[in-house]
Structure 1
Amino acid sequence: MSRRRSRSAPDGGISRRRFLGWSAAAGAVAVFGPVRLRAATEPLIRRSIPASAERIPVIGLGTARTFDVDPGDPAAMAPLQGVMSRFFEGGGRLVDSSPMYGHAEAVVGALARQLGIADELFMATKVWTRGREDGIAQMERSGERMGGGRLELVQVHNLVDLRTQLDTLRRWREAGRVRYIGVTHYRSDMHRELAGIVEREPIDFVQFNYNIVQRNAEQRLLPAAADRGVAVLVNEPFERGTLFRRVRGRALPAWAGEVGASSWAQYFLKFIVSHPAVTCAIPATSDPAHAADNVGAAHGALPDASGRERMVGYFRDL
């Protein structure tokens, strides 16, 4: 049971059609031309954001490393256009980025506008700098790069200058400049500190690493998020690819369909999002086929507690 008082979500009408766009991003749109996408019609697995009860699909899209390309280069943008379109058509909505990721924010904004889906995405990014004024300037640039409208979620990236940036983010949330605020890290040795922040700070989201082999978060961090009513984003769901290397050449178990998995990627992702405290996992990819496969984990069955342990045991014994 959450001990936090829920806040009503701000009213709708979030528009990114006022996209300010950089010239390079605008050039990419001109090269590719308009694209019309269809949204997924199959039922999606969604989880509620405790602060508002807004429901989002359990698979999102990360952009670290994969989206750091020149937004004015059609050859570099083409596969990422495919990633974004396959992700959206599969029902994905939350896209997570950061100014730390090079051109990623601008690429996300350019593709979302070009595909005509900017107003339907849940845009999340981070602040990654020191000082109040530098933090404000960076967040304003991020908003412009990702579309020009209000961002849904801004997170303090890797806890850099945490107190200063959280103070600004609280004011922005109160003023309606951002809907949700949070904190992030990617290392298991930071889970204790993240848990302390979750337990004492009025944040809406926490983002950290968690997967079928890195389960440290189950000890304190995931329970703290559930108890305090904080939404959870999961990064490093594939342990930077090491999980795939472990299963290379091996078939899924015959019972994988019982937990809704038709690929190893879905096996790993469904393990993560079946934890009741997890809101959304954010795998990153530059391959459109992988994007479609990943977001497929937001459909079909999820394992129960015994199914999760079965998945862990099978993988451990490979």
Structure 2
Amino acid sequence: MDHRHLGRTGLRVSRLGLGTLTWARDIGEQDAAELLRIFWEAGGSLVDTADVYADGAAEYLLGRLIGSVVPREDLVIATKAGSVPDPYRRYDGSRGHLLAALDASLERLGTDHVDLWQLHAYDPVTPLEETLQALDIAVASGRARYAGVSGFCGWQLAKAATWQLGAPGARVRLASSQMEYSLLQRGVEREVLPAALDLGIALLPSSPLGRGVLTGKYRQGALPADSRGASEQLAPFVAPYLDEAASRIVDAVSIAADGLAVTPLQVALAWVRDRPGVAAPIVGARTARQLSAALSVEDLSLPQEICQALDDVSAPEHRYPDHDWSSL
């Protein structure tokens, strides 16, 4: 698998990442080990997790597999901190909470450092400079090699990145921003992606397959029994992408796939992987078959005519004030 630099840094990551959102919840140790092994054997390196995935159990499970299944030095481990299971305060970006969360993540992962530490969300209560100082301390202390953010809107990303660039050498440059991005969700193109491109920040798209809808599994209207759409817990997550507008996009992806003699999954994943500013879509495969299907996109490059057709059918409606995406 090809590797790319993560933003304007020296860190290189595989151009597909492996997500662990459902590890230790829907995926047990044996299946997780198989997923990690398949990913590694295909040349994958970036594995993304978070301290709140399965209440920390996803990190613990990944930690059990590091070394026994895949050498630690072959992985780029990315985790997140800042989300809290508190109905009154969803995010805690205080320096004390973040650094304590990082120490707990390292213990669960069984490693002395993570390669990429990400703020899980913007905390509107804590002063941003305090939140960002936690990133500086983490990197300066060697507990994290690089720093990024997740879920920041355009102005939040620009403010954070500019603050960090204001004192070269004293503050750590933001390497990445993780956001949902697919043919069914192109909202990042309005402000987040232009800001990231200007500031040299890589985008790590989550849900690059439109929460599974872009695979075409829901085209006939039925919900496959083993799908997220049929899951009581995840059905609300999938439902927004089962409307008529999404159906038109899925049909276009399927037509393109038929013409190229590939699958809708491959078309949708190749489209987002090769968008400007994207470093590595994060694939949340639940089975070895799903992961192998995603990895098969490595040798696929979509013809420009197909990309343009997909761009047109999925074009978001950006109202005033708009940004001329075509000029980027």
Same fold (TM > 0.5): yes
Aligned runs of 1:1-318 on 2, under 5 Å? 44-64=1-21, 66-69=22-25, 76-102=28-54, 103-128=57-82, 130=92, 131-160=94-123, 161=126, 162-185=128-151, 190-201=153-164, 202-245=173-216, 248=219, 253-256=257-260, 262-297=262-297, 299-303=298-302, 305-313=304-312
Equivalenced residues, count: 260
Whether contact under 8 Å (2:257, 2:264) holds in the other structure is: no
Whether contact under 8 Å (2:38, 2:288) holds in the other structure is: yes
Question: What runs of 5+ residues in structure 1 fail to find an aligned partner?
Answer: 1-43
How far off is 1:159 after superposition? 1.8
How far off is 1:314 after superposition? 6.7
Secondary structure at the aligned position of 1:152 is classed as: strand
RCO (CA 8 Å, sep 6+): is it higher in 1 or 2?
1
Mark the CA change 1:80 to 1:88 in structure 2 (over 3 Å): closer, same or farther. same
d(CA) in 2 for partners of 1:200, 1:166: 9
Per-residue CA distance 1:232-289 (angstroms, 9 max, x = gap): 21112122223335664667634335xxxx3222211111111121011101122111
Whether contact under 8 Å (1:155, 1:182) holds in the other structure is: yes
Secondary structure at the aligned position of 1:204 is classed as: strand
d(CA) in 1 for partners of 2:100, 2:122: 18
Secondary structure at the aligned position of 1:308 is classed as: helix
How far off is 1:105 after superposition? 0.6
How far off is 1:305 after superposition? 5.0
d(CA) in 1 for partners of 2:179, 2:48: 13
Q: Normalising by the residue count of structure 2, what TM-score does the alignment of the two structures yield?
A: 0.71
Q: One-letter code of the match for 1:58?
A: R
Q: One-letter code of the match for 2:206?
A: N
Mark the CA change 1:195 to 1:310 in structure 2 (over 3 Å): closer, same or farther. farther
Whether contact under 8 Å (2:77, 2:115) holds in the other structure is: yes
d(CA) in 2 for partners of 1:115, 1:222: 35
Structure 1 range deviating more: 272-281 or 217-226: 217-226
Structure 1 range deviating more: 124-133 or 305-314: 305-314
Paired position in structure 2 for 1:26 = none
How far off is 1:110 after superposition? 1.1
Secondary structure at the aligned position of 2:204 is classed as: strand
Q: Normalising by the residue count of structure 1, what TM-score does the alignment of the two structures yield?
A: 0.73
Mark the CA change 1:315 to 1:216 in structure 2 (over 3 Å): closer, same or farther. closer
How far off is 1:313 after superposition? 4.9
Mark the CA change 1:200 to 1:136 in structure 2 (over 3 Å): closer, same or farther. closer
Secondary structure at the aligned position of 1:276 is classed as: coil
Whether contact under 8 Å (2:13, 2:46) holds in the other structure is: yes
Whether contact under 8 Å (2:214, 2:265) holds in the other structure is: no
Paired position in structure 2 for 1:32 = none
